[in-house]
């Protein structure tokens, strides 16, 4: 990750697709406690307040759409939901 921080993250669903393209960066030590609190609140799982092996993704582009996995809608789900967001690089 040190030589090339570009990443792509996606959901495992083929019916509700979200693809995030961006760069990954180690979580700042000063953000570890906040991250652990938010994670614990959402998932009810006690994460240690550490930034070790925790990365944040700064999005550059996000693609999203829904589709009918049966194909019976002939692509209408995709056609009516395909969305792209572009974020300014900072």
> What is the rounded distance in angstroms from the CA atom of residue 54 to the CA atom of residue 52?
5
What's the pLDDT at 19?
95
What's the pLDDT at 55?
92
> What is the rounded distance in angstroms from the CA atom of residue 17 to the CA atom of residue 15?
6
Per-residue model confidence as pLDDT tens digits over 43-81? 998 888 888 889 999 999 999 998 887 878 877 888 888
Query: Taking 60 as the threshold, does the pLDDT of residue 1 lie above it?
Result: no
What's the pLDDT at 71?
77
Q: Are 69 and 19 in contact (CB under 8 A)?
A: no
What's the pLDDT at 2?
62
> What is the rounded distance in angstroms from the CA atom of residue 48 to the CA atom of residue 69?
39
Query: Taking 80 as the threshold, does the pLDDT of residue 40 lie above it?
Result: yes
- Domains of the chain, residue spans: 6-86
Statement: the pTM of the whole predicted model exceeds 0.85? no
């Amino acid at each position: 990750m040190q030589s090339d921080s570009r990443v792509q993250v996606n959901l495992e669903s083929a019916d509700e697709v979200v693809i995030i393209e961006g760069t990954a960066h180690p979580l700042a030590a000063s953000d570890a406690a906040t991250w652990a609190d938010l994670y614990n609140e959402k998932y009810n799982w006690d994460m240690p307040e550490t930034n070790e092996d925790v990365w944040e993704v700064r999005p550059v582009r996000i693609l999203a759409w829904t589709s009918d996995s049966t194909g019976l809608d002939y692509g209408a789900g995709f056609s009516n939901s395909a969305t792209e967001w572009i974020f300014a690089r900072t």
